[in-house]
Chains A and B, each alone.
Chain A
Amino acid sequence: MTLTQAEKAAVVTIWAKVATQADAIGAESLDRLFFSYPPTKTYFPHFDLSQGSAQLRGHGSKVMNAIGEAVKNIDNIRGALAKLSELHAYVLRVDPVNFKLLSHCILCSVAARYPNDFTPEVHAAWDKFLSSVSSVLTEKYR
């Protein structure tokens, strides 16, 4: 699946706004993930998963930074996230289905904060973009 020029533009434009609240959105997305999809907590036995926990906020930042990298290198997401791809393949081994769930939670957080910007077209562009990121991160599993 490839992103059209219009879709890339939509992703980049919204990112400019999202970036200003990236850490908060990252933490909120993870919060939503663990709340709605409790099995995802099994990947974090070593974390304090209570709302507002420092570890959640820290991890949310990491996730959003990676997404920011992917936005900046939207023409070569695979290259930009190569190391993360290997990390997920050889160390983390998060079941691919969970990427869809986290992507969905990120979309919800972004939509909640920017309701006027989150038109159907922007929604579709972001969904495709996050799907691409997820594909790259699970590409080296086998």
Chain B
Amino acid sequence: MVLSPADKSNVKAAFGKIGGHAEEYGAEALERMFATYPQTKTYFPHFDLGKGSAQVKGHGKKVAAALVEAANHIDDIAGALSKLSDLHAQKLRVDPVNFKLLGQCFLVVVACHNPSLLTPEVHASLDKFLCAVGTVLTAKYR
């Protein structure tokens, strides 16, 4: 799936508006994902997953930073996330289906905090972008 020029500009604009809130959104997306899809918790036996957990906040920051990086290098997401892609392939081995779940939760968080931002077109572009990120992160699994 290829991001059109319109998709790219929608994604960049969206992240521009999200700005510094990206880290909170990352944390909230994880929280929602653990609540709605409890099976995802199995990847974090070493974390405190309670409300307001510092570990979840910290991890949310990391996830958000990667998404921002990808958005800033939207013409070469594979290049920008190459190390993360290796990490997921060789160490983390998160089942690909979970990327969709986290992506959806992230969209929900964006929608909750920025209702006017997420027009159908922007929604579609962001969803494509998140799918592209997921694809890159699972590209080296086999």
Q: Are B142 and A128 within 8 A (Cβ)?
A: yes
Complex: A141 Cα to B1 Cα, angstroms: 8
Consensus secondary structure, chain B interface: loop
Please, which residue of chain B has its CB at the minimum distance from the CB of A141? B1
Interface size on B, residues (CB 8 A): 8
Query: Contact mask A103-142 → B, CB, 8 Å, 1/0?
Result: 0000000000000000000001000100000000011011
Whether a CB of chain A sits under 8 angstroms from the CB of B122 is no
Whether a CB of chain A sits under 8 angstroms from the CB of B124 is yes
Whether a CB of chain A sits under 8 angstroms from the CB of B139 is yes
Q: Closest CB-CB distance, A126 to chain B, in whole Å?
A: 12
Residue from A1, A124, A128, A139 in contact with B1 in the complex, judged by beta carbons closer than 8 Å: A139
Q: Are B128 and A142 within 8 A (Cβ)?
A: yes
Q: Are A139 and B142 within 8 A (Cβ)?
A: no
Consensus secondary structure, chain A interface: loop
Residues of chain A contacted by B142 (CB below 8 angstroms):
1, 124, 128
Please, which residue of chain B has its CB at the minimum distance from the CB of A128? B142
Complex: A106 Cα to B128 Cα, angstroms: 29
Please, which residue of chain B has its CB at the minimum distance from the CB of A131? B142
Residue from A1, A124, A139 in contact with B2 in the complex, judged by beta carbons closer than 8 Å: A139
Residues of chain B contacted by A1 (CB below 8 angstroms):
138-139, 141-142
Residue from A128, A138, A139, A142 in contact with B124 in the complex, judged by beta carbons closer than 8 Å: A142
CB proximity to A under 8 Å, residues B55-107 = none
Complex: A138 Cα to B139 Cα, angstroms: 17
Complex: A124 Cα to B142 Cα, angstroms: 9
Please, which residue of chain B has its CB at the minimum distance from the CB of A138? B1
CB proximity to A under 8 Å, residues B104-142 = 124, 128, 138-139, 141-142
Please, which residue of chain B has its CB at the minimum distance from the CB of A4? B142
Q: Closest CB-CB distance, B81 to chain A, in whole Å?
A: 15
Please, which residue of chain A has its CB at the minimum distance from the CB of B131? A142
Complex: A66 Cα to B139 Cα, angstroms: 24
Q: Closest CB-CB distance, A121 to chain B, in whole Å?
A: 11
Give chain B's interface residues, CB within 8 Å of chain A: 1-2, 124, 128, 138-139, 141-142
Give chain A's interface residues, CB within 8 Å of chain B: 1-2, 124, 128, 138-139, 141-142
Q: List 13 A-B contacts (CB under 8 A).
A: A1-B138, A1-B139, A1-B141, A1-B142, A2-B139, A128-B142, A138-B1, A139-B1, A139-B2, A141-B1, A142-B1, A142-B124, A142-B128
